[in-house]
Structures are given as C-alpha cells and as structure tokens.
Amino acid sequence: MSTPMTKAASVDEYIRRFPPATQTLLKQIRKTIRAAAPDAEEIISYGIAGYKQQGMLIFFAGFANHVSVYPAPRSAPSFKKELDHYKGGKGTVQFPLNEPLPLDLIKRIVKYRLAENEEKMLAKKKKPVAKKKTAPKKAKKKL
C-alpha cells in the first residue's frame, strides 16, 4: 500500500515530483506563463501549479502521458481550430510528453485569460451598488 503524496508547498516542489523529461516541459510552461504575465501570483491550488492575477488566471499540471494547461478557451473562435488538435475536456488542453510544446499557443492563452480577467474586473467596477433595503418605519401609536 502506498502512502498518499502530500500537497506541494511551492511550484518548485510540485515540478520536482515528476520525472526529468516532464520537469523540463513543466519548467517551459512555467517560464512561458511568467513571461506572459509577469505580475501574476504563483500558487499551488487543488494540488497543482497555478497563477492568479485579477482572479484565477491559469493552471498547469503534469501527468503520466501529458502535461495540461487550463482553463483553455476551446470555444473561443481564435483558438478553436488550433486547440482541436489536442486532447482535453471542455476547459483543458493536454500536450503529449513526446511532442514539442506549443509555447506560443500557451502564451496566447495566458494573454487571452489576462484580458478576460481584466474585463471581469472592469464589469464589477461599473456595476451599480445596490442600495440596502430598510424596513419601513412603523407609525407611532397615539395614546
């Protein structure tokens, strides 16, 4: 019986847990994300590496046969055809370990997500603040 692995305390520790070839790919993804979003905060969330900037930006993870990036904008017209080449779910993209990483694609996904997060922040700022409802004042009884 194997003991469950504890959650990594840092992205460095997370990457070190993989075989050398996978580590190389994860480091390339990390470097690409950091270059595209230099102000993003690096985190470990859900047990994997991620970045936050004006909300959750992007995650990346390693697996036995692939590395993944998510969320992936699979439904965005500018990415649909390119992302159809890769396996993955509705919001993930899987890059096989035996193929070169499409670093330009990853960079564009990060930039796209930055723009999405910026739009969400602007929309929140424009949203009018709802006035707090108060109970109507009761009329005083005359004695």
Is 55:117 a contact under the CB 8 Å cutoff?
yes
The per-residue pLDDT for 7 is 86
pTM for the model stands at: 0.81
The answer to whether 54 and 40 have CB atoms below 8 angstroms apart is no
- Say what the pLDDT of residue 121 is: 85
pLDDT for the residue numbered 6: 81
CB 97 within 8 A of CB 67: yes
User: In this predicted structure, what is the pLDDT of residue 135?
Assistant: 60
Amino acid 34: pLDDT: 97
Exposure of 8 by Cβ count < 10 A (0-12 exposed, 13-18 middle, 19+ buried)? middle
Compute mean pLDDT per 10 residues along the chain, 143 residues long, and list them: 67 96 97 97 95 95 95 89 89 94 96 92 72 62 62
What was the pLDDT predicted at 90? 84
User: Helix (H, G, I), strand (E, B), or coil: what is residue 138?
Assistant: coil
Q: How far is Cα 74 from Cα 139, in angstroms, rounded to an integer?
A: 60
